[in-house]
Chain A
Amino acid sequence: MALPLEVRGLSTTLFTRRGEMKAVDGLSLSVGAGETVALVGESGCGKSLSALSIMRLLPDPPARLVGGEVKLNGRDIVTLTEEAMLDIRGQEIGMIFQDPMSSLNPVATVEKQIVEVLRTHTDLGRAAARERARELLELVGMPDAGRRLDAYPHQLSGGMCQRVMIAMAIACSPSVLIADEPTTALDVTVQAQVLALLKKLQTDAGMAMIFITHDLGVVAETADRVVVMYAGRKVEEASVDDLFDAPLHPYTAGLIGATPTPGAARAARLADIPGMVPPLNALPAGCAFAPRCPRVMERCRRERPELSRPTPGRLVACFAAEKDFAPKDGA
């Protein structure tokens, strides 16, 4: 059976006055039913644009999908018309955004916003849709769901707004759920609740989930597999355990080193990654991470490393990592 979501060589370019910038460059990933793949990286590395590319919701101009394929349950949706995409968005792919307060329409009631999805994609009548909306709110753990239907977003807390967003995203039981930093804007305690909720809903419905975040703590809690992105490209992919046990790419290692761990010695300072993500229109010739890399070699500055498979189930694009795994001759 085809995987719920298979992305091959996805490329998105920003066409700006200062030139073309490859915001997403040949990204491939696949997500199985019930699996969570985390998309990790710093701000501006192309995580959100990848998600919007899959949804075909890129802000055009300046962003445009220039290549690759996105197979949803075996069907390529890149070539679909906008009309056909309307049936896919909200019905086969649900999406949750970063800031729940601003992602809901401020002048429409919760009921109206949930019912709208239901009435767009199903044959439910007005009353039945309202009833279903109430059920969905109960499903996402909204306290006092019946009365919240008449509430406006500004009358709800951030956590409750995100629950409404989740209710809308799963309203039509999509096979793929894309969560773009769903907990970043929330309080830590609420974050944990929302993560637990997403995990539960996903397991119950067997949804494939792409979880976009820059927070490795969240990754460890939710993901099965992790795709690390840097400057629009995938630099490492591994199962969540492998990645935290032994990160192969120096960038991944840097990210993990920069994450605070409870219990670690107070004196031990967090390791930071020196420098900044290079601007997309001024990427270095070789590896984009080379200027910041502690293990940089001469070759890294000239040549761009391609993804290789040093051990089964892992991918990494790094010459230094390749060398570690290269068969040692004369040993």
Chain B
Amino acid sequence: MAGVIASSSRRVAALRLLRRRLFQAVPLMLGVVVINFILIHLAPGSFLELMTAENQVSDPATVELLRKAYGLADPIWLQLLKYIWALLHFDFGFSYRQNMPVIEAITINLPATLLLMISSIALALAVGVAAGVVASVKVRTFWDTLVSVAAMFFFAAPSFWLGIMMIVLFAVKLGWLPVGGMMTIGGAGGGVASVLDILAHLLLPTLALGLFYAAIYARVLRSSMLEVSQLDFVRTARAKGLSRNKVTLSHVLRNALLPVVTILGVQMGTVLAGSVVIESVFSWPGVGSLLFDSVSSRNYPVVLGIMVLGTLVVICANIAVDLVYMWLDPRIEIR
């Protein structure tokens, strides 16, 4: 308790946290790989059957050759060990559908998903925090009720339905925004025009995915703000002669954000899962679309690869959230 922790030692603590988290990630990744591998092999059929059927291969010798080539002839535990060994060399296998290594198929799609995830979370935070602050400052007024009702709506509405409704309204009826995809086919002319084109395509999926989380953050932040504003140090801040806005933003909000950040960390995984659905609705060329396509074509190497990389993304996002949490609350030494 005695030592005064200067900012430099907080940096050391952050690095320690980073090291520990990365270390913990190893058994976690292993668990994810093993469980997903087994789950997928428990499912009936394999991509081999679909592949041979699609290509009208019926010669048993050829099928057997393919089975050997894809390593499906080995017992499952050996396949698993071989897979893990390959993963250690960043070899995720080969995707026959895309006719390229799995890792390539995924990395082509990954940026689109990351873009959608990041923009959705950013929107959720911006809208959720703003709405939560307004609702708590104007508590028990029209604005508070408005935020509550809107939050209830976006929390209850399934995101795929919301997506479809927004397509109907903004894309089909009003024609303001594109129906789907990530950019206009044929290109928008490059440079700034291309960026604007992508943003126009990004808006609806971001809203469909992000507003659900915005609703949660708004409600959590509202109650957290109301709770914090009752605390002693808020009265101290007012006794210092700070204006109400200053007190709200620099004393109440800063403390009230902590539970929001906690939820954000927990929800990183569900944002990724949610993007699978939204990507299908909006034909967004991301990992979600790839996953959907791979599951229906039993392209299991790709499915497994997405699971593994998805886990990696969620782990990284959680580490980032922990670091933000640590920065927000100096009392916490995350273990």
Could you mark each residue 7-51 of chain B with 1 if its beta carbon is under 8 Å from any beta carbon of chain A, else 0? 100000000000000000000000000000000000000000000
Q: A87 contacts the other chain (Cβ, under 8 Å)? A: yes
Contact of B233 among A102, A117, A144, A169 (CB under 8 A): A102
Interface residues of A in 118-136 (CB under 8 A from B): 120-121
Binds B, one of A89-97, A238-246, A274-282, A323-331: A89-97
In the complex, what distance in Å separates the CA atom of A157 from the CA atom of B241?
Answer: 26
Q: B235 contacts the other chain (Cβ, under 8 Å)? A: yes
Inter-chain contact A55/B5, CB cutoff 8 Å: no
Inter-chain contact A150/B240, CB cutoff 8 Å: no
Contacts of A150 in B (CB 8 A): 4-7
Could you mark each residue 102-117 of chain A with 1 if its beta carbon is under 8 Å from any beta carbon of chain B, else 0? 1111111000000011
Inter-chain contact B236/A88, CB cutoff 8 Å: no
Could you mark each residue 102-124 of chain B with 1 if its beta carbon is under 8 Å from any beta carbon of chain A, else 0? 00000000000000000000000
Interface residues of A in 147-168 (CB under 8 A from B): 147-148, 150-152, 154-155, 157, 165, 168
Range of interface residues on chain A? Answer: 35 or more
Contact of B330 among A88, A94, A107, A121 (CB under 8 A): A107
Q: A270 contacts the other chain (Cβ, under 8 Å)? A: no
Contacts of B251 in A (CB 8 A): 105, 108
In the complex, what distance in Å separates the CA atom of A150 from the CA atom of B246?
Answer: 21
Q: B242 contacts the other chain (Cβ, under 8 Å)? A: yes
In the complex, what distance in Å separates the CA atom of A107 from the CA atom of B330?
Answer: 6
In the complex, what distance in Å separates the CA atom of A107 from the CA atom of B237?
Answer: 13
Smallest CB separation, A172 vs chain B (Å): 8
Q: With A148-B4, A150-B7, A155-B1 known to touch, is A104 a contact of B236 (CB < 8 Å)? A: yes
Contacts of B173 in A (CB 8 A): none
Q: B243 contacts the other chain (Cβ, under 8 Å)? A: yes
In the complex, what distance in Å separates the CA atom of A120 from the CA atom of B244?
Answer: 13
Contact of A117 among B4, B241, B250, B255 (CB under 8 A): B241
Q: With A97-B232, A102-B233, A155-B1 known to touch, is A107 a contact of B328 (CB < 8 Å)? A: yes
Smallest CB separation, A47 vs chain B (Å): 15
Which residue of chain B lies nearest to A154 when distances are taken between CB atoms in the complex? B331
Contacts of B240 in A (CB 8 A): 89-90, 116-117, 120, 168
Contacts of A103 in B (CB 8 A): 232-233, 235-236
Which residue of chain B lies nearest to A82 when distances are taken between CB atoms in the complex? B244
Q: With A99-B232, A147-B4 known to touch, is A107 a contact of B254 (CB < 8 Å)? A: yes
Inter-chain contact B255/A106, CB cutoff 8 Å: yes
Q: A7 contacts the other chain (Cβ, under 8 Å)? A: no
In the complex, what distance in Å separates the CA atom of A169 from the CA atom of B311?
Answer: 51
Q: B231 contacts the other chain (Cβ, under 8 Å)? A: yes
In the complex, what distance in Å separates the CA atom of A116 from the CA atom of B330?
Answer: 19
Contacts of A94 in B (CB 8 A): 239
Q: B189 contacts the other chain (Cβ, under 8 Å)? A: no
Interface residues of A in 72-101 (CB under 8 A from B): 82, 86-91, 94-95, 97, 99
Smallest CB separation, A17 vs chain B (Å): 15
Q: A57 contacts the other chain (Cβ, under 8 Å)? A: yes
Contacts of A104 in B (CB 8 A): 233, 236
Inter-chain contact B4/A151, CB cutoff 8 Å: yes
Contacts of A169 in B (CB 8 A): 239
Smallest CB separation, A65 vs chain B (Å): 15
Contacts of A86 in B (CB 8 A): 241-243
Interface residues of A in 40-91 (CB under 8 A from B): 55, 57, 82, 86-91
Inter-chain contact A89/B330, CB cutoff 8 Å: no
Contact of B239 among A95, A102, A105, A152 (CB under 8 A): A95
In the complex, what distance in Å separates the CA atom of A292 from the CA atom of B3?
Answer: 51
Instruction: Mark A residues whose CB is within 8 Å of B.
Output: 55, 57, 82, 86-91, 94-95, 97, 99, 102-108, 116-117, 120-121, 144, 147-148, 150-152, 154-155, 157, 165, 168-169
A-B pairs, top 3 by smallest CB distance, nearest first, are: A90-B241, A89-B241, A90-B240
Q: List 22 A-B contacts (CB under 8 A).
A: A57-B239, A82-B244, A90-B242, A95-B236, A97-B235, A102-B231, A102-B232, A104-B233, A105-B237, A106-B330, A107-B328, A107-B329, A107-B331, A116-B250, A117-B240, A120-B240, A144-B4, A150-B7, A151-B4, A152-B5, A152-B330, A155-B1
Instruction: Mark B residues whose CB is within 8 Å of A.
Output: 1, 3-7, 231-233, 235-244, 246, 250-251, 254-255, 328-331
